[in-house]
Structure 1
Amino acid sequence: MQRKTKIKPYPGPAGGWGSLKSVSRHMKKQHLIPEAMPALERQNKPKGFACVSCAWAKPHPAHAAEFCENGAKATFWELTKNRTPPEFFARHSAAELRLWPDHDLEQEGRLTHPMRFNHETDRYEPVSWDEAFAEIGRELAEIRARDPRRAVFYTSGRASLETSYMYQLFARLYGNNNLPDSSNMCHESTSVALPESIGVPIGTVQLEDFQETDTIFFFGQNVGSNSPRMLHQLKDARENGARIVTFNPLRERGLESFIDPQDPVQMITRDATEISQEYHQLRAGGDIAAITGLSKAVFDLDDAARAAGAPRVLDTEFIEQHTHGFAAFEAHVRATGWDDITRECSLTRADIESAARIYAEGKSVIAIYGMGLTQHKRGVETIQMLVNLLLMRGNIGKRGAGICPVRGHSNVQGQRTVGITEKPELAPMDKLAELYGFTPPEDEGHTTVTACQAIINGEVDAFVGLGGNFVRAIPERELMEAHWPRMRLTVQIATKLNRSHLINGQVAYLLPCLGRLEIDRQASGEQVVTIEDSTGKFHASVPIREPASPHLLSEPAIVAGIAKATLPANPKVDWDGWVAGYARIRDAMGRTWPELFTDFNETMWTPGGISRPIPARERVWQTETGKANFKLPSALTASFDEGHDPAVLRLITLRSNDQFNTTIYGYRDRFRGIYGTRMVVLLCDEDMQRLGVEDGAIVSMETAVDDGVHRRMDGFRVVRYGIPKGCVGAYYPEANALIPLWQHAEKSMVPAAKSVPVRIITRAMVEAAE
């Protein structure tokens, strides 16, 4: 369908009437009037269902409406009355469907039947569940007999704790730790950085800290589109007098101003809450430099306080008692020159010193960050520098303070908690061996990046995807799509059709599952599942809607069906019993992690969630030194681009206001004023003049690396935008084809999607070259 493109800057706030209009528009689009409202009333509530999009915390007491604009879209997307039955696949070949946009594929609606791909007709055809399980099991068993390491078991971030527990056990019983997941693409830098620094793999901030804080620092996180419910906490904090300082390459509306749709006065007066007191648009990849500058300015303030006989700015008692490595950190920061700092982050010294004064005046400071920090070459080091800044003033382990990574998908943190990890040392292998009578694999498994490389190298024979849109979400898309069909078996467990289902192995299945909102009836009755939010709290999720099709199975039932068909019988693993009643899975989780899940069937109903232990909140540091560690960065830039070639720009991949991860709800990026298209490139006026391109021009982008692979994408419309010089913005996942697979975060292997070195190619450049 041809869509009219419109570029019209949006001057309004996040939330407000714009949010309500968007919710209404999508409710109508999915034909859900009037039944949508009763569903939304139970979203993120006790005895209700956990949102299937973001993982932000679920407060108690809850707001009257505990959903946001994008959360409502995710609910409508799952509850849609549209269906994708076998007749749809009879009408459309895979070759035809590969030409459809991402939005149009998913807009067809819920999958209704298990399907097997027929390569001769290039179409999916219906198959019985018994046939599907039998053939999948036979194929997996044959691969296992040759080499169990040649199968990959991927998990998206929405699978429940119960399903994830079963899935990781299945993979390990199969014989490998090949358990890549969406965390590998997004927040694995957090899971590597924080244990080294403070001894825990998750953040230390919980919702109550927002009531106590007086200062919040934001880095690389777009709250307005990616976690809008947090805006309630930010609004409350601002109204309590807290100051918020933001460091982000683009000005995002949610970090500028917000009108609470649940506040009648604000809605009537349109008097928005200002969110950020200071907003600093630093260069992509310049966060290490900016944080180094903040630290340097804090040392200068401390020096001035000492000279004046005033109270110290540094929390010297905390540093001495609770930290290790401070002297080396201080020497490193003091030795780093301001010219180097300002050149790399593109901020002025005055800007950085102004923000540092706010930090130094704060009694309790929260630092919030997202993928703007994690998805860089030195993403791990960037996070550790942010921790260093907090440690300077004792801002970890006290009320109203701490580090707050904002996770993306609804249970991406939880699935790691129950064993979805490629690292055997992070799973309780001894306990699994004891409980289930087998010898767990010892070799480290594939991450998302290494799984992709292994597929390209022909070293993977089977890929099982528990949700997600793997082929669309990963870097190096052209190479991956070319090599994907070489695999013997691909299995996709999903609720809706997406592009990953249209690029298939020699044997391929598309298995439709129940959504989280759908009533799941098993032998013991209606089931509930559980998830973990960004703040380390576990919640029950109660379904509310009849299934989209009588032919759907639950995720646990599908995992069990494949496992039973693949593996030899094991009397210690009761797949059928677990499917019959998910409480038994939770009991098994309690036996595996007694410190987390003892009595979980009772505690999971706690309003507001049951907290997992976070020792760093109590200033207990489970690190090698027994203290919180100051960690030094190896460079000021976090990017693969070293900044030597002025023709090379740093590409930031972005999500729109009308999407969540790879799911595209529509073509209205309201906050950026871009309508009807996603093929845009955002450029500042200075770079447009330097490159000789005009607003609205059509250009190409190519990756500025020399590795023997030519990565180029055509057809981008130039949009003049307030983005730092030397940076460009383009939408994810469309621009993923420009990201080299080897450009990933050191240590964590997260694709470096937030500062990809690229060149803009204009028609004039092509003509001149010819």
Structure 2
Amino acid sequence: MTDKMDLPHAQSPSGGWGSMKGMSRILGETVPSPAVLKSLGRQNKPKGVMCVSCAWPKPANYSAFEFCENGAKATMWELTSARCTPEFWEDEAHTVTALRAWKDYDLEMTGRLTHPLRYDAATDRYQAVSWEDAFAGISSALRGLPRESAVFYASGHAGLEASYLYALLARAYGNNNLPQSSNMCHETTSVGLTKVIGSPVGTIVWDDLAKTDAFFFFGQNPGSNSPRFLHPLKDIKDRGGKIVTFNPVIEQGLVSFVDPQSPAAMLTGKETKISDQYHQLKAGGDVAAILGLCKCVVEADDTAQGEGKAAVIDHAFIQQHTIGFEEFIQSCRDTNWAEIEQESGLTESALREAAGVYIAAEKVIGVYGMGLTQHTHGALNIAMLVNLLLLRGNIGREGTGCCPVRGHSNVQGQRTVGIAEKTKLVPLDKLKELFGFDPPTKDGMNIVEAVEGLFEGKVRAFISLGGNLVRAVPDQKRMEEAWAQQDLTVMVSTKLNRSHLFPGKQAYILPCLGRFEVDVQATGNQSVTTEDSFSMINASIGEREPPSDFLKSELAIVAGIAKATLPVMPGLKWDEWTADYGLVRDLIERTYPEDFRDYNKRMYDPGGFYRGNDAHDRIWKTPEGKAVFTTPGQLTSIGFRDAPGRYRLITLRSNDQFNTTIYGYSDRLRGLKGSRDILLMCPEDIAEAGLTDQQIITLVADVDDGQDRRLAGLTLTAYKLPRGTIAGYYPECNVLMPISHYDELSKTPASKSIPVRIKQNNIG
């Protein structure tokens, strides 16, 4: 534990003037029209537009400025005045091959795409194509392929309406190959939580934030990834609550915060200290750390009962609602502190201090991000957090619960309306009834299986509804080569990205409207809906003029591909659905009546309408009918052994980044700037390895599978990290991770503990 947090690289608190400067820089670089201020004023409010960045919920009692630094950056990035027109490709230097040398940032700075494009291999350039010809070419390629060889990927951005039709397109085409960005981040949540509490999503609602006594954070960074969360964190500190954080990296958003919406705080620089305790456990040490907390709770309960005092554990709740309790608490008693300290990287006294906060708090919310999910035993991490919450009945009553923090704005909602490769998650019988065809019943491919299919030559076509998949997945070099060997690649996009630079034999870029832009169809300007991390459904309606007359909405693009590709079926009314998105919402309600009751009537409710969560109401839809205590078979969530010279690599996102979108080269909240080609390492490890701060090194994956995976040209940077844990940026470090390195239960890539070795340049 760190009492006085020594942050040699952090130069300012989260929020405050630093946040304002960060937004101002993006404003200057993107040069959107002055109307962008109006758009920001409508953000995350009823009859406005839901943020295109993260999926943090929208309060019913909203403030005047209901956006954060990252949300504002994403908005300005989308509303840029820059345009990437067909003339861009006429420049002699702008061949696809030449553009591969460009940085991700520079590709996106070319601006919004204005026309549908088709790759021309003879000139190695994209050329403008009509929508009719694009749909016809895509249709011809898809119809000529074996049905199971095509994949329909979704990035997590498209609204519920387009997502529902996209899933329908894939199934009417003939497969369930519907991987989604959740496969790369929170699929561990979907699978892991379902196994232990019967819910694939978090259990809290907005009001719980104001009623909890303590937050326990694991592997989540609100300062960069969900800054609007900082306001509820400040609120709990103002009312005397506690926040305890477990994270290998000290993240400034969990250290201190200056509220940019408070004139007094901005004038005085008054900071709110966020974490009462900050525990830098080693990467993959969460299982041991949480077991240590549980061990303290069990010991405190044993002592209390022995002395005739009130129980610490909620035995009535456990007896009524759980199974596996006795076996689990026996493992708590049997595991010794030496093992826990060794595997967690934390001391017994530190864990006892943290457990003291948990025991003293009547109501606790457990918060986590990809620091828990992206390990080879990530599902065990989540099960352990649920164990901790169950011990004191901290699920299913107000002010308590499990709170996974999602990234993409509609990543959770897309799963809700059918973008899922597992047929058990989709009411196929209802689809047959509604649309008059037999949906395929064989499970489709998730991301890992789709990438493996690419490597094996089994996947011949990839349709991407948003995203930058080539850059986002593991094994980047192999992915680039395999992606370009496909018969067809189709990317629905707003800007250029690296995935466009490895076109298949036939390749199309289909430019789409942004969420802030008017979407005029036959019945007028259309609304789209999304689902946030708290299972709330919110509507957006755009008001900005599109950057080009040649753009189509995501829904219209999906319908256009479907209409051109699929045989005519009376139940598939693509033109009618494109004309009126409300008809699609009616279909969603008929398909999922319990979740979407009175959908069209409620979609503008302030804060959204709640589609419900059984675990929130202590209804456990597990096979056992109860919440499940999990007895761990190991004390680490990594799938490899430590060895001399082998390190655990964590991949990070910077403050100037949203997933693969790079806004610039400032990581203000870590005090880093100017480059993303860095490797963070603690001074003790640097000295022990015979290296020096600022030395240029090469990282090499320590995986024995015959593949050479390395990343050269990294500047070694001394940083406050646990021994044996190092850190570098995502997506650059993805080149080091094999596609086979994933959570054993969900197949989520294990990006938070990659085995690597360090080579000095020109050596090894």
Is TM-score (shorter-chain normalized) higher than 0.5? yes
Whole-Å Cα distance in 2 between the matches of residues 598 and 620 of structure 1?
20
Matched with 1:593 is 592
Matched with 2:54 is 54
Given the superposition, is the C-alpha separation of residues 295 and 8 from structure 1 closer, same or farther in structure 2, using an over 3 Å criterion?
closer
Matched with 2:85 is 85
Q: Superposed, which structure 2 residues align to 1:66-465 within 5 Å?
A: 66-91=66-91, 92-143=94-145, 147-465=146-464
Q: Superposed, which structure 2 residues align to 1:603-622 within 5 Å?
A: 603-622=602-621
Deviation at 1:106, TM superposition (A): 0.5
Matched with 1:37 is 37
Q: Superposed, which structure 2 residues align to 1:685-764 within 5 Å?
A: 685-763=683-761
* 1:159-188 C-alpha deviation (Å, 9 max, x unpaired): 100000000000001111100110000000
Whole-Å Cα distance in 1 between the matches of residues 438 and 635 of structure 2?
45
Whole-Å Cα distance in 1 between the matches of residues 543 and 229 of structure 2?
25
- Aligned to 1:707, the other structure's residue is in SS state coil
Matched with 1:3 is none
Matched with 1:536 is 535
Whole-Å Cα distance in 1 between the matches of residues 749 and 430 of structure 2?
32
- Aligned to 2:140, the other structure's residue is in SS state helix
* 1:320-352 C-alpha deviation (Å, 9 max, x unpaired): 111111111112222212111110110001101
1:641/1:755 contact within 8 Å kept: no
The code of the aligned residue for 2:451 comes to C
- Aligned to 1:595, the other structure's residue is in SS state coil
Whole-Å Cα distance in 2 between the matches of residues 544 and 449 of structure 1?
38
The code of the aligned residue for 1:43 comes to Q
Q: Which runs of 5+ in 2 are unaligned?
A: 1-6
Whole-Å Cα distance in 1 between the matches of residues 209 and 587 of structure 2?
35
1:520/1:527 contact within 8 Å kept: yes
Deviation at 1:484, TM superposition (A): 1.5
- Aligned to 1:77, the other structure's residue is in SS state helix
- Aligned to 2:171, the other structure's residue is in SS state helix
- Aligned to 1:71, the other structure's residue is in SS state helix
2:699/2:758 contact within 8 Å kept: yes
- Aligned to 2:654, the other structure's residue is in SS state coil
Whole-Å Cα distance in 1 between the matches of residues 641 and 603 of structure 2?
48
Matched with 2:17 is 17
Whole-Å Cα distance in 1 between the matches of residues 20 and 8 of structure 2?
19
Matched with 1:4 is none
Whole-Å Cα distance in 2 between the matches of residues 520 and 639 of structure 1?
46
Whole-Å Cα distance in 1 between the matches of residues 304 and 58 of structure 2?
42
Whole-Å Cα distance in 2 between the matches of residues 711 and 217 of structure 1?
36
- Aligned to 2:40, the other structure's residue is in SS state helix
Whole-Å Cα distance in 1 between the matches of residues 244 and 8 of structure 2?
27
- Aligned to 1:117, the other structure's residue is in SS state strand
Deviation at 1:33, TM superposition (A): 5.7
The code of the aligned residue for 2:387 comes to N
1:701/1:760 contact within 8 Å kept: yes
Q: Residue 670 in 1 paired to residue 668 in 2?
A: yes
The code of the aligned residue for 2:193 comes to L
1:641/1:650 contact within 8 Å kept: no
1:641/1:756 contact within 8 Å kept: no
Whole-Å Cα distance in 2 between the matches of residues 240 and 642 of structure 1?
44
The code of the aligned residue for 1:178 comes to N
Matched with 2:467 is 468
The code of the aligned residue for 1:684 comes to C
Whole-Å Cα distance in 2 between the matches of residues 602 and 723 of structure 1?
51
Deviation at 1:582, TM superposition (A): 0.3
* 1:529-574 C-alpha deviation (Å, 9 max, x unpaired): 0000001000001112100100001111111111111110011111
Give the TM-score normalised by structure 2: 0.98
The code of the aligned residue for 1:760 comes to I
- Aligned to 2:496, the other structure's residue is in SS state coil
1:488/1:505 contact within 8 Å kept: yes
Deviation at 1:8, TM superposition (A): 8.2
2:9/2:719 contact within 8 Å kept: no
2:33/2:81 contact within 8 Å kept: no
1:373/1:379 contact within 8 Å kept: yes
* 1:24-75 C-alpha deviation (Å, 9 max, x unpaired): 1111111136322111101111111000010000001111111000100000
Deviation at 1:646, TM superposition (A): 2.4
Q: Superposed, which structure 2 residues align to 1:576-655 within 5 Å?
A: 576-643=575-642, 645-655=643-653
Point out the more displaced range, 180-189 or 337-346.
Answer: 337-346
Deviation at 1:197, TM superposition (A): 1.0
Whole-Å Cα distance in 1 between the matches of residues 304 and 270 of structure 2?
40
The code of the aligned residue for 2:50 comes to A
The code of the aligned residue for 1:131 comes to D
Whole-Å Cα distance in 2 between the matches of residues 564 and 44 of structure 1?
33
Whole-Å Cα distance in 2 between the matches of residues 726 and 217 of structure 1?
24
1:382/1:633 contact within 8 Å kept: no
The code of the aligned residue for 2:681 comes to L
Deviation at 1:624, TM superposition (A): 1.1
Whole-Å Cα distance in 2 between the matches of residues 555 and 25 of structure 1?
30
Whole-Å Cα distance in 1 between the matches of residues 9 and 200 of structure 2?
39
RMSD, aligned CA: 1.1
- Aligned to 2:504, the other structure's residue is in SS state coil
* 1:452-502 C-alpha deviation (Å, 9 max, x unpaired): 000000001110000000000000011111121211011111000000011
Whole-Å Cα distance in 1 between the matches of residues 489 and 650 of structure 2?
31
- Aligned to 1:229, the other structure's residue is in SS state helix
- Aligned to 1:302, the other structure's residue is in SS state helix
Whole-Å Cα distance in 2 between the matches of residues 529 and 555 of structure 1?
10
Matched with 2:656 is 658
Point out the more displaced range, 540-549 or 466-475.
Answer: 540-549
Deviation at 1:196, TM superposition (A): 1.3
- Aligned to 2:119, the other structure's residue is in SS state strand
* 1:306-331 C-alpha deviation (Å, 9 max, x unpaired): 22221111001111111111111112
- Aligned to 1:594, the other structure's residue is in SS state coil
Identity %: 54
The code of the aligned residue for 1:71 comes to G
Point out the more displaced range, 384-393 or 476-485.
Answer: 476-485
Deviation at 1:641, TM superposition (A): 2.6
The code of the aligned residue for 2:656 comes to D
Deviation at 1:10, TM superposition (A): 2.7
2:487/2:505 contact within 8 Å kept: yes
- Aligned to 1:486, the other structure's residue is in SS state coil
- Aligned to 2:144, the other structure's residue is in SS state helix
* 1:694-717 C-alpha deviation (Å, 9 max, x unpaired): 111100000111111111110000
2:697/2:760 contact within 8 Å kept: yes
Matched with 2:514 is 515
* 1:54-97 C-alpha deviation (Å, 9 max, x unpaired): 00000011111110001000000000000000010222100111
2:11/2:668 contact within 8 Å kept: no
The code of the aligned residue for 2:733 comes to A
